[in-house]
Structure 1
């Protein structure tokens, strides 16, 4: 297997913005730095404001329910601890999510982007670790060849941002990432144990440039390959830096 890191993405506020980065320092047993540090709980969430533990994704505002959210872009100022969000139909906003007044501003900012027939955004939650969709700290690893295979079923290429992945690899065969489950992958200076497939939701049907649903990705996966999975979840077992261009090497079983 010969593969390299082609793209790295982080999502500081779950389902509310994506940012491309050149490298990241991964730690064992942790999520990607600055990935899903915060999440916006909706008014029907089964958690209280101030709760610091991990919670299932059903408690949060997500692009699966409000597709407009997928068009949000993020930019983190790590030194200042601030996040700037942009959207095609909203003025940019810069906040320190840990400041209550800024968290309130964020809720006001995202309200017009939320489906009015769904539970409304209520408050910002911060987990002790990244608020991933898994009940363990995970990093998502995806293959560009699989994206191209899926894109062939549509008239234009599908954007990576639909799938909200962390590490995108070039050099794998289509769907080869599924064969890595149970194995360890050395990427740059870090080692990842591949745990399971990622089963996808309606968030992937929305266009990250517009926030409008325009591709039946779930139907295409089901019709083409008999499943709705795309990418794999992994755990960091040995920390280290991962950067664009780094090799991904399968470790001996």
Structure 2
């Protein structure tokens, strides 16, 4: 298999950012992936003692489809986040200051309207990632699997519906499931695949229009007998990964 696309998602639920290469570190996500989130006002998230919480506590596409209409960009060098609604000037604010975080939270809460609960907070906790599973990991999807699902849907499903970090070509549909429990080389990094990704209603949202125009979980269940697409892998030896690199299983037996 070959790496075709690499993405990070600095703010949970907001824009994917494409990368040409990335340096993976042992036991970590992609740098800056799911680094920030909009915690709903009733979310029991404590920045001083962060722990994993389910996505319903944060702004997310599963519950807040209209977030797909926002375009965001994060500059990690200066800590600035820019967010733009269609047809309007962007907000640019610092994620490193209380004033900046308050401005970002207010902007997102106003955009969500009635979907915002209480007084949402724009949150970050050093060393914490707002991932969908409790373990820090990298998500990998075979584009052949997306194509197989698209065929059953009768429409092209944008791979970004599934918000993976790594998209690979080559191999048969669902070939990534054969890697479960295996160690793999991804570029110069070594990872262990530990879980299939169960898909949720977030994948119903078209990333271009923010409309719920397909039902991937139902399509998966009806046509393939499961609700899974892609796999999670933990980094056990860091290294560089670039577009064009190979994904190769390491058969340890």
- TM-score (ref. length: structure 2): 0.92
Q: Distance in 1 between matches of 2:234 and 2:119?
A: 30
- Is 1:31 aligned to residue 26 of structure 2? no
Q: 2:79 aligns with which of 66, 81, 100?
A: 81
Shift in Å at residue 135 of structure 1?
1.1
Contact 1:18 1:72 in 2 (8 A): no
**1:42 Cα deviation (Å)?**
0.3
1:202 matches 2:228? no
Instruction: Give the equivalent residue in structure 2 for 1:99.
Output: 97
**Quick one: distance in 1 between partners of 2:120 and 2:219?**
34
Q: Deviations over 1:142-199 (max 9, x none)?
A: 1100011111123431112211100001112101111111001101111110010111
Give the aligned partner of residue 18 of structure 2: 20
Residue 42 of structure 1 contacts residue 61 of structure 1 at CA under 8 Å; is this kept in 2? yes
1:166-205 equivalent positions in 2, closer than 5 A:
166-205=165-204
Question: In structure 2, how many angstroms separate the alpha carbons of the residues matched to 1:175 and 1:162?
Answer: 17
- Paired position in structure 2 for 1:114: 112
1:218 paired with 2:213, answer no
Number of residues paired by the alignment?
251
Gaps of 5+ in 2: none
> Does the 8 Å CA contact 2:195/2:231 hold for their aligned counterparts?
yes
Provide the secondary structure at the position in 2 that maps to 1:91: coil
After TM superposition, the score normalised by the length of structure 1 is 0.92
- C-alpha deviation, 1:111, in angstroms: 2.2
Instruction: Give CA deviations for 1:62-86 in whole Å, capped at 9, x if unaligned.
Output: 1100101133333232321222233
- Which residue, out of 49, 59, 76, partners 1:61? 59
Counterpart mapping for 1:95-174 below 5 A: 95-114=93-112, 116-117=114-115, 119=117, 122-127=120-125, 128-174=127-173
Shift of 1:117: 4.8
List gaps (5 residues or longer) in structure 1: none
Measure, in 1, the Cα distance between the counterparts of 2:124 and 2:49. 8
* Structure 2 counterpart SS, 1:152: helix
* Equivalent pair of 2:184/2:193 in contact (CA under 8 Å): yes
Runs of 4+ in 1 over 4 A off after TM superposition: none
Q: Say which is worse superposed, 128-137 or 110-119, in terms of deviation.
A: 110-119
Looking at structure 2, the residues matched to 143 and 62 of structure 1 have their Cα atoms a distance apart, in angstroms, of: 23
Task: Give the 3 Å change call, closer, same or farther, for CA 138–110 of structure 1 in structure 2.
Answer: same
Deviation readout 1:101-143 (Å, 9 max, x if unpaired): 1111112222244262563561022132322111111110111
CA contact (8 A) 1:49 1:123 kept: no
Q: For residue 252 of structure 1, report the CA deviation from its aligned partner.
A: 1.6
